[in-house]
C-alpha cells in the first residue's frame, strides 16, 4: 500500500465524524454567506420612500439568528475536526509504535533512535496539523467560494465575470508560492530528524562526551545544526510573507466598488445589491489565505505521512511461520547444523559465524568461549531468532526454530544479555517484567536464587526502589543479578547468560558464581563467560575463534587437545606463587 492510500485509509475510518463536520460546516458557511443578503435587504428597504421598520427589525432579527447559527456551526465543526485529527494521529502513532516493536533486530541495528522518535512525534504532529485545522480550512474555503460566488452571480453576472478575470493571477500566485515552499518543508523535516539524532546520541553517550572533555565541541555541533534549522525556518517565513493572494482580493474589492457604483448610478443595480456583492467579495478574503496555507500544510502532512509510512513499510520482520508449530514438550535438546551468518546479508563475505555444527543434549550446561568478536553473542541471537541464519538450520527438540511459533520460542528462552537493560521502574517491576502477575514470594525466591535479595533489602525502599534516572543507580554486578532474577522468575526451558563482566571483586564474583550455579540446575543453559570454575564444570564447552567452531568437548578433553583452550588456563599456571606475609 502506498503512503497516500495508507493515509487516506486512516482518514476515511472517521467518515461519520467527517459527515458531522461537513453538516455543521454547511451551517457555518451558509449563515456567513447569507448574512450579506440580509444586510443588503436592509439597505434596499432604507432606500425606499415608504420603508417599513417592521421589515428592517425582522431582518435584523434574522441577522442575529444567523449569527447564533454561525457560532454554533463553527464551534461544532471545529471541535469535530480536532477530534478527527486526534483520532487519526493516535491510530497512526499506535500503529507506528506497534510496528517498531515488531521490527527485526536488523532494522533496529540500523535505524537511529532519534530518527525514529522524530517520526513518531514531529512528523505525526505535522499530519495532525494538516487534518486540523488543514482539512477544515480546505472545506471552509471550498464551500465559501461555492456559496459566495453563486450568490454573486445571482446578483450580478456581469460584475462577477469582471472579477473572475483575476482567477489566473490567483492560481499563478498559489502555484508559485507552493513551488518555492515545497523543498523547504522537506528540508525542515529532515533537519529536525537530524537534530533529534544528535541530541539523542550525545545525551545517551554523555559519559563518553565527558570522559573526552568534548562538551564544547558537542555543543558547537548542535548549535550548528539548530542554526541550520533556524535558517530554514526563516526562509520559510520570508516565503510565507510574500504570499500576495490577499493583495489581489483587496484590489478586487476596490474594483467591485468602483464598477458597482457605476452600475448603481446607471440603475442596473440596487444599492443593497452592491452592499451584498462587496460583502460577499469580502468573505472570499479568508479562502485565499486558507487555500495557500492548506496546500502547503497538505504537502508537509503528506511528506510526513510518507516518512512515517516508509519506516513502517520496510519489510524487516522476522516472519512468524504461517502454520507455526507449538513447542510443547520442552526438553532443551539443541542442534546447530552448518549454521552460517552474516550481518550484511547473504552476499557478504564478512561472516560472523561460519559452518557451525554442534548438538546439546537436554539439560546440559554449555559454556561458550572465544576471543572478543568471535561470534559468541551472535550464536545466542540466532538461537532466539533475533536474526535468521544465512545458511543452515537450528533445531530445538527436533523442531526447526523457523517453523516454531515465535513468541512460544522466545518465551521459553531466558536471556541475561551482555548489555543489560533495566527499565526506569521499581526493582520489583524489573524482576517481574516477564511475569507481571508474579506474587511477592515468587519474586523474592527468584531474587534469592540470583543472590540479589540481600542487596535489594539494603535499599531504603527495598523492592519498591526505583532503578535508573529517577532512582538509584545500580552497579554492573547488581544489575546483572537483577537480570538473572528476571530470567529465573519466568523459569524458561533454556537459559542463556552472556556474562561479560569479569572484572568484579571477589565477593561479588562468589555471589554471581552461586547465582549462576542456581541458574544451571535442571535446564539446558548456555553461558558465555571467562569464569574458569563455570567453564570447568560445563558438560560441553564450545570454543569459537573468529566465527569458526574450533572445537567442542569437556574440560578434560579440551585441555589435552585444544591449544586455544589451554591458553585460557595457562595464564593462571604461569602466575608466580604467592609470598606469605606474616607478622605485620
Ligand X SMILES: Nc1ncnc2c1ncn2[C@@H]1O[C@H](COP(=O)(O)OP(=O)(O)OP(=O)(O)O)[C@@H](O)[C@H]1O
Binding site for ligand X (CB under 6 A): 109, 343, 352, 370, 372-378, 418, 500
Partner that binds at residue 36, options ligand X, Mg ion, none, CB closer than 5 to 8 Å by kind? none
> What is the Cα gyration radius of the chain?
36
DSSP string, 469-493: TTSBPPPHHHHHHHHHHHHHHH--S
Partner that binds at residue 352, options Mg ion, ligand X, none, CB closer than 5 to 8 Å by kind? ligand X
Partner that binds at residue 122, options ligand X, Mg ion, none, CB closer than 5 to 8 Å by kind? none
Nearer to ligand X, 249 or 377 (CB): 377
Partner that binds at residue 192, options Mg ion, ligand X, none, CB closer than 5 to 8 Å by kind? none
Q: How far is the CB of 513 from ligand X (least distance, A)?
A: 19
Nearer to ligand X, 25 or 368 (CB): 368
Nearest one of 11, 28, 20 to 86, comparing CA atoms: 11
Nearest one of 512, 516, 515 to 503, comparing CA atoms: 512
234 CB-contact burial (10 Å; exposed 0-12 / middle 13-18 / buried 19+): exposed
Nearer to ligand X, 84 or 416 (CB): 416
Partner that binds at residue 209, options Mg ion, ligand X, none, CB closer than 5 to 8 Å by kind? none
Could you give the 3-state DSSP secondary structure of residue 209?
Answer: helix
Q: How far is the CB of 354 from ligand X (least distance, A)?
A: 11
Residue reference for cell 521459553: 412
Contact 413, 496 (CB under 8 A): yes
Beta-carbon contacts of 18 under 8 Å, excluding residues fewer than 6 positions away, are: 11, 84
Q: How far is the CB of 104 from ligand X (least distance, A)?
A: 11
Q: How far is the CB of 578 from ligand X (least distance, A)?
A: 30
Distances (CA, A) of 186 to 117, 373, 381: 17, 40, 38
Site for Mg ion, rule CB under 5 A: 377, 418
What letter does residue 320 receive in the DSSP assignment? P
Distances (CA, A) of 440 to 433, 462, 549: 13, 12, 43
Name the CA dihedral angle for 436, 437, 439, 444, rounded to a multiple of 10 degrees: -20
Q: How far is the CB of 202 from ligand X (least distance, A)?
A: 21
CA distance 537 to 520: 11
Q: How far is the CB of 385 from ligand X (least distance, A)?
A: 15
Q: How far is the CB of 342 from ligand X (least distance, A)?
A: 8
Nearer to Mg ion, 311 or 494 (CB): 494
Partner that binds at residue 372, options Mg ion, ligand X, none, CB closer than 5 to 8 Å by kind? ligand X
Partner that binds at residue 412, options ligand X, Mg ion, none, CB closer than 5 to 8 Å by kind? none
Q: How far is the CB of 12 from ligand X (least distance, A)?
A: 40
Nearer to ligand X, 109 or 223 (CB): 109
Counts of helices then strands in the chain (DSSP H, E): 24, 10
Nearer to Mg ion, 285 or 418 (CB): 418
Could you give the 3-state DSSP secondary structure of residue 168?
Answer: helix
Q: Where are the alpha helices (DSSP H) in 156-205?
A: 157-164, 167-204
Partner that binds at residue 249, options ligand X, Mg ion, none, CB closer than 5 to 8 Å by kind? none
Nearer to ligand X, 92 or 369 (CB): 369
Nearer to ligand X, 197 or 352 (CB): 352
Contact 260, 271 (CB under 8 A): no
Partner that binds at residue 343, options Mg ion, ligand X, none, CB closer than 5 to 8 Å by kind? ligand X
Could you give the 3-state DSSP secondary structure of residue 293?
Answer: helix
Nearer to ligand X, 248 or 500 (CB): 500
Amino acid at each position: 500500500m502506498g503512503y497516500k492510500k495508507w493515509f487516506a485509509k486512516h482518514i476515511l475510518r472517521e467518515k461519520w465524524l467527517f459527515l458531522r463536520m461537513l453538516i455543521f460546516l454547511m451551517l457555518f458557511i451558509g449563515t456567513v454567506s447569507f448574512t450579506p443578503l440580509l444586510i443588503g435587504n436592509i439597505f434596499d428597504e432604507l432606500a425606499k420612500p415608504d420603508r417599513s421598520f417592521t421589515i428592517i427589525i425582522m431582518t435584523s432579527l434574522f441577522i442575529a439568528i444567523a449569527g447564533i447559527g454561525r457560532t454554533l456551526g463553527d464551534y461544532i465543526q471545529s471541535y469535530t475536526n480536532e477530534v478527527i485529527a486526534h483520532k487519526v494521529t493516535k491510530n497512526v502513532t499506535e500503529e507506528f509504535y506497534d510496528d517498531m516493536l515488531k521490527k527485526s533486530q536488523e532494522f533496529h541495528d540500523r535505524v537511529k533512535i532519534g530518527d525514529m522518535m522524530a517520526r513518531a512525534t514531529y512528523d505525526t504532529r505535522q499530519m495532525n496539523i494538516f487534518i486540523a485545522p488543514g482539512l477544515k480550512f480546505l472545506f471552509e474555503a471550498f464551500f465559501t467560494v461555492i456559496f459566495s460566488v453563486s450568490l454573486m452571480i445571482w446578483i450580478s453576472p456581469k460584475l462577477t465575470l469582471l472579477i473572475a478575470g483575476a482567477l489566473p493571477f490567483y492560481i499563478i500566485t498559489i502555484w508559485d508560492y507552493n513551488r518555492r515552499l515545497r523543498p523547504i518543508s522537506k528540508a525542515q523535516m529532515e533537519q529536525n530528524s537530524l537534530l533529534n539524532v544528535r541530541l539523542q546520541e550525545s545525551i545517551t553517550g554523555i559519559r563518553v562526551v565527558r570522559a573526552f572533555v568534548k562538551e564544547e565541541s558537542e555543543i558547537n555541533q548542535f548549535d550548528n545544526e539548530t542554526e541550520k534549522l533556524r535558517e530554514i525556518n526563516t526562509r520559510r517565513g520570508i516565503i510565507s510573507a510574500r504570499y500576495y493572494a490577499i493583495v489581489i482580493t483587496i484590489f478586487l474589492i476596490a474594483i467591485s466598488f468602483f464598477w458597482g457604483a457605476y452600475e448603481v448610478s446607471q440603475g442596473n443595480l440596487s444599492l443593497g445589491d452592491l452592499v451584498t456583492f462587496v460583502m460577499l467579495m469580502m468573505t472570499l478574503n479568508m479562502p485565499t489565505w486558507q487555500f495557500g496555507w492548506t496546500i502547503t500544510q497538505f504537502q508537509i502532512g503528506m511528506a510526513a505521512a510518507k516518512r512515517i509510512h516508509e519506516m513502517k513499510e520496510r519489510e524487516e520482520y522476522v516472519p512468524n511461520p504461517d502454520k507455526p508449530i507449538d513447542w510443547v514438550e520442552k526438553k532443551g535438546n539443541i542442534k546447530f547444523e552448518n549454521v552460517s551468518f552474516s550481518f550484511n546479508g547473504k552476499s557478504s563475505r564478512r561472516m560472523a559465524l561460519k559452518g557451525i555444527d554442534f548438538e546439546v543434549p537436554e539439560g546440559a550446561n554449555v559454556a561458550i568461549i572465544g576471543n572478543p568478536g568471535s561470534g559468541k553473542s551472535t550464536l545466542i541471537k540466532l538461537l532466539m531468532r533475533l536474526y535468521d541464519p544465512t545458511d543452515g538450520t537450528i533445531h530445538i527438540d527436533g523442531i526447526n526454530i523457523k517453523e516454531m511459533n515465535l513468541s512460544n520460542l522466545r518465551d521459553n528462552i531466558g536471556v541475561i544479555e551482555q548489555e543489560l537493560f533495566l527499565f526506569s521502574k521499581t526493582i520489583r517491576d524489573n524482576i517481574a517484567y516477564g511475569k507481571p502477575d508474579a506474587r511477592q514470594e515468587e519474586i523474592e525466591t527468584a531474587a534469592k536464587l540470583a543472590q540479589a535479595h540481600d542487596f535489594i533489602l539494603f535499599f531504603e525502599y527495598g523492592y519498591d526502589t526505583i532503578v535508573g534516572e529517577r532512582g538509584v543507580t545500580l552497579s554492573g554486578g547488581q544489575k546483572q543479578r537483577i537480570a538473572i532474577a528476571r530470567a529465573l522468575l519466568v523459569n524458561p526451558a533454556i537459559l542463556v547468560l552472556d556474562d561479560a563482566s569479569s572484572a568484579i571483586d571477589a565477593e561479588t564474583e562468589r555471589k554471581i558464581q552461586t547465582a549462576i550455579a542456581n541458574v544451571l540446575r535442571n535446564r539446558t543453559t548456555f553461558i558465555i563467560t571467562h569464569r574458569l570454575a563455570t567453564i570447568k564444570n560445563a558438560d560441553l564447552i564450545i570454543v569459537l575463534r573468529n566465527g569458526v567452531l574450533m572445537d567442542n568437548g569437556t574440560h578434560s578433553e579440551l585441555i589435552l587437545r585444544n591449544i586455544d583452550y589451554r591458553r585460557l588456563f595457562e595464564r593462571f599456571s604461569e602466575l608466580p606463587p604467592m609470598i606469605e606475609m606474616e607478622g605485620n
